[in-house]
Amino acid sequence: MLPLHVDVAVVGGGAVGASVALAAKAAGRSVLLVEARARDADVRDPRVLALSHASQQALAASGIWHDGMPSTPIDRVHVSQAAAFGRTVLDRDDLGLAHLGHSVAYSDLYAAAREALLAAGVPVAFSSRATTLRSGSSFAELGIAPDGAAPHWLTARLVVLADGGGLIDQLPDVVRREHDYRQCAVLARLRPGTPHGNVAFERFSARGPMALLPVGDELMAVWTRSHDDAERLIALDDEAFGAEFGAAFGERLGRLTPTAPRLAVPLRLKVANRIVSRRVALAGNAAQTMHPIAAQGLNLGLRDAALLSGLIARPGDAGDATRLAEYARRRRVDSLAVTGFTHSLVTLFDHQDPVSRGARGAVMAVLDAVPTFRKRFASSLVFGIGG
């Protein structure tokens, strides 16, 4: 039976929402997590996520990341552009870390979050959708539609929206700004002819930016293309796609052979003008959904969750205005910097004239040559900015 009132209600059972719910439970708060998927859902999602060292540590502290987690270490990040000089290599030694981060399949991370919630005894309304949200000065009202059951209303001192659903549109003072890149991310699993050596690659070319994450002995490629070209690439046979991708990426990893069906995902930037409303806080995809080229979306969301979790753990009213104002203030710089940086990568590397290529190459060369700059840049990607 669902409760009529909780201290904290969380909407969204992914890593961000689960982290907040687990922290609330550990702090002695009454909590309910609302998750649209069924408890025994077999999540089949081909995406691979890049987690920074800080994100992996945060997930381990929450109980989501465990020793048996199927993952691949990322020890270096190689950034370059085709047909132009200049490149930057970020290395684990720059920050004195065992690894810069890990890659993990979305489905494995979601399953680990679900297992951690159940093991900790966090109440979860599986197969349920949060349909209505009304925020007030003393509490928020959340309408829930459980699968096959009558609608349910509960009140909460704090509601945390941790997914990209439509509840945000019901908040009178929150507006989501959207930018349609008019592009798709083509996702492809590839087997390299040369071992990847636990290196992640960012490659910018006239054929579109591409990222490659190490996944076991293989790679997950994310290639940004127009909608029409994405359809064409999906329709190619494996040999033709591997050859075309390899021509754009270069020969560093030898012949690249597809090992799984490809998928195209439309790309949009979505950013909320504010991440708090009365008795409501936004985190993760609810606060910002970004282009995947810099692989920073989940890392930014987990930093949202970490700060929010710490604030919830303080004594007193979990959703009071002072607490929410602090959350908004302390997350502002990091969120603006990361979303702005990611958006700039997409737009600035669209220009392929010689002057633009030369300027970008010079910036990357300086970043690579000056350890202080390189380490500061690497630290911002791993640990975030400010806060």
Tell me the DSSP string of 79-116.
Answer: EEETTSS-EEEEEHHHHT-S-SEEEEEHHHHHHHHHHH
Buried b (16+ CB within 10 A) or exposed e, 208-229: bbbbbbbbeebbbbbbbbeeeb
User: Within a 13 Å sphere around the CA of 204, how many CA atoms are in the beta-carbon half?
Assistant: 24
Q: Name the pairing type of β-strands 5-11 and 152-161.
A: parallel
Cα 290 from Cα 268, distance rounded (Å): 7
Q: What is the SS3 assignment for 335?
A: helix
* Consecutive H or E run containing 219: strand 218-226
Q: What are phi and psi of 123, to 5 degrees?
A: -65, 125
From 192, 125, 179, select the one nearest 288 (Cα to Cα).
Answer: 179
Cα 204 from Cα 266, distance rounded (Å): 19
Cα 369 from Cα 87, distance rounded (Å): 10
Q: Output the pLDDT for position 296.
A: 80
Amino acid (one-letter) located at 174: V
Length of the chain: 387
Q: Output the pLDDT for position 354.
A: 66
What are the extents of the domains in the chain?
5-66+105-177+268-346
pTM for the whole structure:
0.92
Cα 381 from Cα 204, distance rounded (Å): 19
Q: Output the pLDDT for position 292.
A: 80
Residues of the chain with pLDDT under 50: none
Cα 345 from Cα 257, distance rounded (Å): 27
Q: Is 244 exposed, middle or buried (0-12, 13-18, 19+ CB in 10 A)?
A: middle
Q: Output the pLDDT for position 66.
A: 92
Query: Degrees (nearest 5) of the Cα angle 98, 100, 103?
Result: 110
* Consecutive H or E run containing 204: strand 199-204
The residues facing 383 across adjacent strands are none
CATH of domain 5-66+105-177+268-346: 3.50.50.60
Cα 379 from Cα 170, distance rounded (Å): 37
Q: Output the pLDDT for position 337.
A: 82
CA distances from 333 to 300, 328, 339, 341 (A): 11, 10, 10, 12
From 155, 100, 91, select the one nearest 367 (Cα to Cα).
Answer: 91
* Consecutive H or E run containing 356: helix 354-369
